[in-house]
Amino acid sequence: MNELFGTEYPIAAFSHCRDVVAAVSKAGGLGVLGAVTYTPEQLEVELTWIEEQVGDRPYGVDLLLPVGTADAAARLSPEELEHLLDDPTPILPEEHRQFVSHLLAEHHIPELPDGGAEARRLLNPPKALAEVAFAHPIRLIASALGPPPPDLVTEAHDRGVLVAALVGTKEHALRQKAAAVDVIVAQGYEAGGHTGTIATMVLVPEVVDAVAPTPVLAAGGIASGRQMAAAMALGAQGVWTGSVWLTTEEAETHPVVKEKLLRAGSSDTVRSRCRTGKPARQLRSGFTEAWDRPDAPEPLPMPLQPLLVAEAIERIDRAASAGNDDAVDLANYFVGQVVGRLTSVQPARQVLQDMVTEYVDTVVAMGEALSTPA
């Protein structure tokens, strides 16, 4: 991985926070900015800032490129879909809108003072975001859902940018290889965010064997040097990490959520469709439990579920910041089972250095154990 990306350490760090991305790249890893929550204009600002911080150090961008969309949204043009970001009511079932409304009322979550104008957008046009990314000296562009469009792969390669794709099965990996991606990220069941049902220990060697010689990064349950050593022993050429950066000093994780992460154990996460419409591992909370109730409707497919809950999540987060106990109970975020190891707040640089040091110590110890006579 180091030769591939020009990094000192084979550690990729996915984060929606530019400060984390810059800190990791400056420390010798590969910071990867999750761009799905940014408008093209905002992404331009973020990437310009990152470049000012990292100089000629490598960094990447991760885009959400779903293979398909809900039937109702698939019939809409990009312009019509963009318009619906401001008012998605016409394509959201009444039953679902009522459920969300009643859930917020049950927990005494107040309306937004600005009427929801600042509710985070989870459906920014990926093509426009890619155009912004390609205008910057990124080293990597990653596709988080499904094979990237052929024209994106072609443009990336024409610009000397590597393409990565996340997978949860061997079959997905083979499709990604056929799509000419340069790096495959094998993300196990333990991971935070969108993830499949096969554990990292099983998935990584299966994918490595299936797609060789295409390089594979291991993801899911990796937050320490020992876990990194295990991933490399399985055949991975590096690791793709995410959850471990959520509790760093630089992370812009909501303060209430960060405190909940620091207290959480490895069993305090759940795979749920309640935030995005696709199974995504996140912190168990009153919000995830509400969607499991008998009276709860089935979550809508992507991209409708994000449109349904975006403003509700904004309201919950703001109320939690104001000390609303019910909102604190509802508040959550995407995180993997490795959350049980996140027990303190440290600078991102220190997290990376500790991981590297423990990795080296682990590999040395393993070598010594093998060379010691029985």
pLDDT, residue 80, reads 57
pTM attached to this predicted model = 0.92
Q: Which helix (H) or strand (E) holds 208?
A: helix 200-211
216-255 per-position pLDDT tens digit: 999 999 999 999 999 999 999 999 999 999 999 999 999 9
Residue 91 to residues 291, 295, 299, 315: CA-CA distances in angstroms? 20, 21, 14, 21
Most confident of 58-72, 110-124, 142-156, 354-368: 354-368
DSSP string, 44-84: HHHHHHHHHHHTT--EEEEE---S---HHHHTS-HHHHHHH
pLDDT, residue 68, reads 47
Residue 74 has pLDDT above 70, yes or no: no
Residue 357 has pLDDT above 70, yes or no: yes
150 is written with which tokens? 């052929």
pLDDT, residue 358, reads 98
Q: Which helix (H) or strand (E) holds 229?
A: helix 225-233
346 is written with which tokens? 């440290």
Q: Which residue ranges make up each domain of the chain? A: 2-68+122-247+355-371, 86-117+253-330
Give the mean pLDDT of the chain. 92
What pairs with residue 13 in β-bridges? 31, 241
Under 8 Å between Cβ of 50 and 57: no
The arithmetic mean of pLDDT across residues 278-296, rounded, is 97
CATH of range 2-68+122-247+355-371; options 2.40.37.10, 3.10.310.10, 3.20.20.70, 1.10.3720.10: 3.20.20.70
152-208 per-position pLDDT tens digit: 999 999 999 999 999 999 999 999 999 999 999 999 999 999 999 999 999 999 999
Predicted confidence band of residue 145 (pLDDT cuts 50, 70, 90): confident
Predicted confidence band of residue 79 (pLDDT cuts 50, 70, 90): low
pLDDT, residue 110, reads 95
pLDDT, residue 370, reads 83
Q: Give the type of residue at 149.
A: P
Radius of gyration for the chain, computed over Cα atoms and rounded to the nearest angstrom: 20
The arithmetic mean of pLDDT across residues 293-299, rounded, is 96
Residue 95 to residues 101, 137, 271, 296, 323: CA-CA distances in angstroms? 10, 46, 23, 9, 30
CA angle 114, 116, 119 (to 5 degrees): 125
pLDDT, residue 374, reads 62
pLDDT, residue 91, reads 82
Closest CA to 173 of 150, 139, 196, 140: 196
Predicted confidence band of residue 115 (pLDDT cuts 50, 70, 90): low
CA distance 146 to 65: 7
